[in-house]
Amino acid sequence: MALAPSLMRSAPIIESHESEQQDELTSSWRRGAGEAGGVVSTRSVHRNHPGPAVHPSLRRRGVVLLLGVLGALLGGRVFAAAPRPLRPEVAAFIDEMAQRHQYDRTLLWRVLGRIKPRASILRAISAPGTARPWYVFRERYIDDVRITEGARFWRQHAEVIGRASREFGVPEEIIVATIGVETLYGRDTGNFKVVEALATLAFDYPPRADFFRGELEQFLLLAREIRLDMTRVTGSYAGAIGIPQFLPSSYRKYAVDYDGDGKPDLMGAPADAIGSVANYYRSFGWEAGGAVAVPAEAAASAVDAVLAAGIKPHSTVVALMQRGVVPLAAVRDDAQAALFSLETESGIQYWLGLQNFYVITRYNRSVNYAMVVYELARELRSVIQREGSNPVPEREMTPAP
């Protein structure tokens, strides 16, 4: 997913609605008593020592404040404007959360009732960066900064990255590159309020409203489970969270506690992010030691039909060769593969995506995204190997053409 310039820390623990309401009541009472007390004191002085007349507006203000004090003392609610009516779809969502998950209805009313659709979120979801031509998209992620910072991140967390790679079977460079593409190794985790982003997309983006209502539900459950203040958590315009940019449903399902502190923290713990990325890939079928992608040539007569079959591996390499697709690097004849194309400055380039390439597209369903993770991973591996530290076995990655 995708992203603002500081490593997120765990958001403060949310307080109960009851305690917040009591705090509001107490502070309102104190404000009312203080200001009203000043008015009463002034009037008593005037009674015994004639002076300037009190302006009528001050008297009215004193009456209002005194009514607030009386309301608090009598156990009633402090006088305030009634909340604006909720849109029917928002009210229905709140009812469902209360019935299915016993969620605090008043809390949701207060949080969701204040959210207004964000035009910037709707613009961003309608024109994702991954839709750009490959050569434009690539320039944003394959650069000196991301390579240098990636090598530094790898060295800094070498022990935990190596442990995650061994446990989950995912190459170290793929783990590091994924975090690098997502958030520049935790430095750019997004500055949209997650609850606002998800609510905007859930109720004001019809093409994927059902999907984002589900993610909003998952976020609210996540906030309750790990005690986050849901109004302060920030992330991407699509509601992705933390160093690896997990959507709330993925956070709840695939996040792991990899630093042993008893809870998975993807916002403030690099070790948890590293382990969670590796766990995510394994959960979607990463083949340990398998290739990712190989360049290919394709006969003009075969291209359209083979591309139309999609990115999920659907035919063996041998079967594709019989249809006019020729791999330009070593690959097993019996490997399942799919043909995809990239738009380069010099024209269309063809590649065969294998199972592991498809797995990367489960993180972000874009060929451009998967390819940039793969290419950044190769660049990072080259840097680490040149330094002579933490070498990666050649068999785990396909060599560059």
φ/ψ of residue 121, rounded to 5:
-70, -45
Residue 222: CB atoms within 10 Å: 21
- Among residues 262, 203, 208, 198, which one has the least CA distance to residue 236? 198
Question: How far is it, in rounded angstroms, from Cα 238 to Cα 242?
Answer: 12
Distance, CA of 264 to CA of 260 (rounded, Å): 9
Alpha helices (H) along 17-118: 17-48, 56-73, 88-101, 105-112
Q: In what order do the strands lie in the sheet with 315-316?
A: 315-316, 336-344, 347-353, 293-298, 325-327
Strand pairing of 336-344 and 347-353?
antiparallel
User: Which residue is catalytic, options 172, 182, 215, 396?
Assistant: 182
Whether 182 is a known active-site residue: answer yes
For tokens 């967390």, the residue is 157
Q: Encoding tokens for residue 101?
A: 């998950």
380 in Cβ contact with 400 (< 8 Å): no
Question: Cα separation of 113 and 260, whole Å?
Answer: 38
Catalytic sites, residue numbers: 182
